[in-house]
A and B are shown apart, each in its own frame.
Chain A
Amino acid sequence: MSQEIKIVIQKIDEYRYLVPRSFREGMRIEGLIYANDELIKAIERDQTLMQVANVATLPGLVGRSLAMPDAHQGYGFAIGGVAAADIQKGVVSAGGVGFDINCGVRLLRSDLSLEQVKPKLDPLLNQMFRDIPCGTGRKGIVGGLSYDELDRVLENGAHWAVRNGYGSDEDLRHIEETGRIPNADANKVSKRAKERGRDQLGTLGSGNHFAEVQYVAEVFDEEAGRVFGLSPQQIVILIHTGSRGLGHQVCTDYLDIMQEAMRRYNITIVDRQLACVPIQSPEGQSYLGAMAAAANFAFANRQMITHWTREAFTRVLGKGELKIVYDVCHNIAKEETHRVEGSSRRVLVHRKGATRAFPKHRPELPSDYADVGQPVLIPGSMGTCSYVLVGTEQAMEETFGSSCHGAGRSKSRHAAKKEISADQLVHQLQQKGIHVRGASKSGLTEENPDAYKDVSLVVEVVHNAGIAKKVAKLLPIGVIKG
């Protein structure tokens, strides 16, 4: 990493920057970054550009190594990175999915308005905070799940949760992959990963994970808003969490396995965190089986948290139905068909901090969304706004049907904490009408909204570049924080 970095990216238009193959030695494809003048400055400040270029050195990639406008420095891959590998000749990289496999977001819509919920907001948040296990070291309510049962979770995801009373079949239609990635193989998940995950099912976790009570502040696209069931002043809930310790350990295990196996396949890499193996190799197939299992764990996790949120709603408000608008993965590798250089190709799309953004008429969409496209859920930082977007044809042409995933951090947790005390932050948010319940004071201040890029700027770039279109803007009134 010590070689001299020549910053020679080329501005293509207002929202696109090309990272040419001359940027670093060994790049097999070009890089492309979605940003405006302001966001590109943030991207240039850390190692994001070099990481986009490093990814471009991996064998068997097609198209370009992409970075979304919320991109920031990650491990191996930049967070906000997208790369597609030819299914026959390409590689799969555990680091290209990341440690929190199927970290994702789910949006629930209620049939209640802001005015109806506001008077009971505090009891509602208290109830949610009691019912949803969150914060460091907290165990799930399904503590001590047997290993056999855990295997069923890993192979069936949200379907397992529904079968066990956490929601209904109706929920499954509105989850990416219906909440169960096929070909999940629980036998490819180590005992150690299962030990880490066994009592974490049904927990929110800490860090940037949250559950927020929000309302629809603005609808930009009435047709899509109507189809997604969103209208102004309506109360919605946004849940952000992933596969917990189980997914983290799957990634840790396979980074090791891939590093070892790479030698046999004569693959050399520029950053150890980019360890990869041919997709069709036994190690590649094992990883994909384990990754799918971890992703299913995350789907089940979000399904259980949904169930407890519904219970809290009913208990406190005495009414109100919460339906799933959609649930998207933002750390995942998916086998998909895309057009590459004019022909249709099977590829493995790595989305590391990026969201699938498929347009209308794709077979992967639920039938009721077929004529508008897939909802793309973009959470903002704590106390700021979030967005619902919809996938576009342009995303299929340019980004393997992908878009951004959030605001993207701009400051370290330490810097975020130094700027404000937890009490000040809670007070500030309260003044904006946002009530907060947090498991720890330091957890709160680390998520100080000032530590993030402006999510509206990120969404503007995505919208104007055409790789997803704005549907609605959501504002928070209550935050549950790990």
Chain B
Amino acid sequence: MIAAGLWVANSLGMKNTTMNDGYRILEHPSDIGIEAYGQSLKEVFEYAALGLVSIIVDPASIDPVEQRYVTLKGSDPENLLVRWLSEILYFYDGQDFLPSDIVIERLTKTELKAVVMGEPVDERKHSFKMDVKAITYHQLKVEEGKEGCLVRVFLDI
């Protein structure tokens, strides 16, 4: 169940986060979270990943010049979400690659296939905001309803 009034502009100085962006940044005394919403889980998983990127770097500074493919398995939707976002974080922190556009081609409760576009890190071009250490299971939520879908995830920063 998604109430439009809930989606307030976020806090991190990200560009124009509004309802249409499909995610908002949550605050936690020591860390930070992402709540993403949309019509399908596919859409919501995409938004969550874009939310993660927007915490690390200004997404407007990334161009889609290269393509990467992701195929993942998880034990359940929650585990799959953590693995998916961990993959996005690994692109940045392990491979120096910043995603700009994300298309999830296939999503089941335990499997995900996606195409991730973006470009290699260029310190002169990309403006970084903060490092993210990891994706946590703290108050993790994956909800699928008739009126829409929602995920919530907290990050250790």
Asked if A and B bind, the verdict is yes
Which residues of A does B touch, CB under 8 Å?
1, 46, 72-76, 79, 98-100, 135-137, 192, 195-196, 205-207, 245, 248-249, 251-252, 255-256, 259-260, 271-273, 409-415, 417, 440, 442-443, 446
Report the bound CA distance from A203 to B28 in whole Å: 26
| B window 11-41: CB within 8 A of A | 11-13, 27-32
Report the bound CA distance from A252 to B89 in whole Å: 11
Q: In the complex, what residues of B have CB within 8 A of residue A46's CB?
A: 29
Q: In the complex, what residues of A have CB within 8 A of residue B11's CB?
A: 414, 417
Report the bound CA distance from A135 to B57 in whole Å: 13
Indicate if the CB atoms of B156 and A196 lie closer than 8 Å.
no
Would you give 10 A-B contacts (Cβ < 8 Å), ordered by A? A75-B138, A195-B95, A249-B93, A256-B82, A412-B27, A412-B28, A417-B11, A442-B13, A442-B130, A446-B130
Q: Which of A46, A75, A410, A415 has the most CB of B within 10 A?
A: A75
Which residues of B does A touch, CB under 8 Å?
11-13, 27-32, 56, 75, 78-79, 82-83, 86, 90, 93-95, 121, 123, 126, 128-131, 133-140, 154, 156-157
* Minimum distance in angstroms from A266 CB to a CB of chain B: 16
Indicate if the CB atoms of A100 and B133 lie closer than 8 Å.
yes
Indicate if the CB atoms of A273 and B138 lie closer than 8 Å.
yes
Indicate if the CB atoms of B30 and A409 lie closer than 8 Å.
yes
Indicate if the CB atoms of B29 and A73 lie closer than 8 Å.
yes
Complex: chain A residue closest to B11, CB-CB? A414
Indicate if the CB atoms of B135 and A252 lie closer than 8 Å.
yes
Indicate if the CB atoms of A206 and B130 lie closer than 8 Å.
yes
Which of B75, B78, B157 interacts with A207 by CB under 8 Å?
Answer: B157
- Main secondary structure on chain B at its contact with chain A? loop
Complex: chain B residue closest to A242, CB-CB? B133
Indicate if the CB atoms of B134 and A137 lie closer than 8 Å.
no
Indicate if the CB atoms of A192 and B29 lie closer than 8 Å.
no
Indicate if the CB atoms of B134 and A136 lie closer than 8 Å.
no
Q: In the complex, what residues of A have CB within 8 A of residue B82's CB?
A: 256
Complex: chain A residue closest to B121, CB-CB? A137
Q: When A412-B27, A413-B32, A414-B27 are in contact, do A99 and B139 touch as well, CB less than 8 Å? A: no
Indicate if the CB atoms of B130 and A196 lie closer than 8 Å.
no
Q: In the complex, what residues of B have CB within 8 A of residue A245's CB?
A: 93-94, 133
Indicate if the CB atoms of A195 and B133 lie closer than 8 Å.
no
Q: In the complex, what residues of B have CB within 8 A of residue A249's CB?
A: 90, 93-94, 134
Q: In the complex, what residues of B have CB within 8 A of residue A98's CB?
A: 156
Q: Which of B79, B83, B156 has the most CB of A within 10 A?
A: B156
Report the bound CA distance from A409 to B28 in whole Å: 11
Q: In the complex, what residues of A have CB within 8 A of residue B156's CB?
A: 75, 98-100, 248
* Minimum distance in angstroms from B120 CB to a CB of chain A: 12
Report the bound CA distance from A410 to B137 in whole Å: 22
Q: When A248-B156, A414-B11 are in contact, do A272 and B137 touch as well, CB less than 8 Å? A: yes
Report the bound CA distance from A150 to B29 in whole Å: 35
Report the bound CA distance from A206 to B57 in whole Å: 14
Report the bound CA distance from A248 to B136 in whole Å: 11
For the complex with contacts A73-B28, A417-B11, 13 further pairs of A-B residues with Cβ separation under 8 Å are A76-B138, A79-B30, A135-B128, A137-B128, A206-B131, A207-B157, A252-B86, A410-B29, A412-B28, A412-B30, A415-B27, A442-B129, A446-B130
Report the bound CA distance from A310 to B59 in whole Å: 38
* Minimum distance in angstroms from B32 CB to a CB of chain A: 7
Report the bound CA distance from A413 to B83 in whole Å: 25
Q: In the complex, what residues of B have CB within 8 A of residue A260's CB?
A: 75
Indicate if the CB atoms of B90 and A196 lie closer than 8 Å.
yes
Indicate if the CB atoms of A248 and B30 lie closer than 8 Å.
no
Closest 3 CB pairs between A and B? A272-B137, A195-B94, A136-B128
Indicate if the CB atoms of B83 and A196 lie closer than 8 Å.
no
Q: In the complex, what residues of A have CB within 8 A of residue B128's CB?
A: 135-137, 440
Report the bound CA distance from A353 to B131 in whole Å: 19
Q: In the complex, what residues of B have CB within 8 A of residue A79's CB?
A: 30
Q: In the complex, what residues of B have CB within 8 A of residue A412's CB?
A: 27-30, 32
Q: In the complex, what residues of B have CB within 8 A of residue A273's CB?
A: 136-138
Complex: chain B residue closest to A274, CB-CB? B137
Q: In the complex, what residues of B have CB within 8 A of residue A74's CB?
A: 30
